[in-house]
């Protein structure tokens, strides 16, 4: 085993201790004059980078339809069992769509598995981190809250194309 070396040979100035105290004081004083890191939250909001995993949302195309084909993979992979999908048929090109799509935000752990497993790029993690509810009913997000226009999610989709 390598022998541990301790810093024992302090110089006389270090032993007197007082100059070292003043060094410490100078350091804290310098820091008092430095710019502050604090972000004053409600007025000034943190805008996360594209790699941030916020609230999962469903991508809404320009024509107002969702991309989701209700395959149920996200629901299947979700480790917290937070997603519930009810599929239905439609006359549109993709033939299937989710009649009901619910994410229980109390259960969601923001792992991003749903987004990773999705074959249609239909569910992605947004930058939204302001999630607060006053009761459990409110915490279950339906399609009305989950659908977000694709233009707002371009950042994340590009990130996924580069790194997924």
Residues forming the site for another protein (CB under 8 A): 18, 21, 24-25, 27-29, 31-32, 34-38, 40
Q: How far is the CB of 32 from another protein (least distance, A)?
A: 4
Q: How far is the CB of 46 from another protein (least distance, A)?
A: 15
Residue nearer to another protein on the CB measure, 25 or 109:
25
The answer to whether residues 113 and 79 touch, using CB atoms and an 8 Å cutoff, is: yes
Residue nearer to another protein on the CB measure, 4 or 34:
34
Residue nearer to another protein on the CB measure, 16 or 131:
16
Exposure string for 41-78, b = 16+ CB within 10 A, e = fewer: eeeeeeeeebebbbbbbbbbeeeeebbbbbbebbbeeb
Other Cβ atoms less than 10 A from the Cβ of 127: the count is 18
Q: How far is the CB of 21 from another protein (least distance, A)?
A: 6
The answer to whether residues 126 and 156 touch, using CB atoms and an 8 Å cutoff, is: yes
């Amino acid at each position: 085993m390598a022998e541990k070396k301790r810093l024992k040979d302090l110089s006389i100035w270090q032993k007197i201790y007082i100059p070292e105290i003043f060094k410490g004081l100078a350091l804290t004083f310098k820091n008092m004059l430095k710019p502050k890191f604090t972000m004053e939250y409600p007025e000034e909001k943190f805008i996360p980078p594209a790699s941030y995993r916020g609230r999962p949302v469903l991508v809404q195309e320009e024509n107002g339809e969702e991309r989701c084909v209700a395959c149920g993979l996200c629901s299947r992979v979700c480790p917290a069992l937070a997603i519930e999908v009810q599929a239905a048929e439609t006359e549109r090109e993709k033939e299937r769509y989710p009649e009901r799509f619910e994410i229980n935000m109390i259960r969601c752990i923001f792992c991003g598995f749903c987004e990773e497993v999705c074959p249609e790029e239909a569910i992605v993690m947004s930058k939204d981190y302001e999630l607060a509810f006053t009761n459990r009913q409110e915490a279950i997000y339906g399609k009305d809250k989950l659908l977000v226009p694709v233009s707002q999610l371009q950042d994340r989709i590009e990130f996924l194309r580069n790194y997924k």
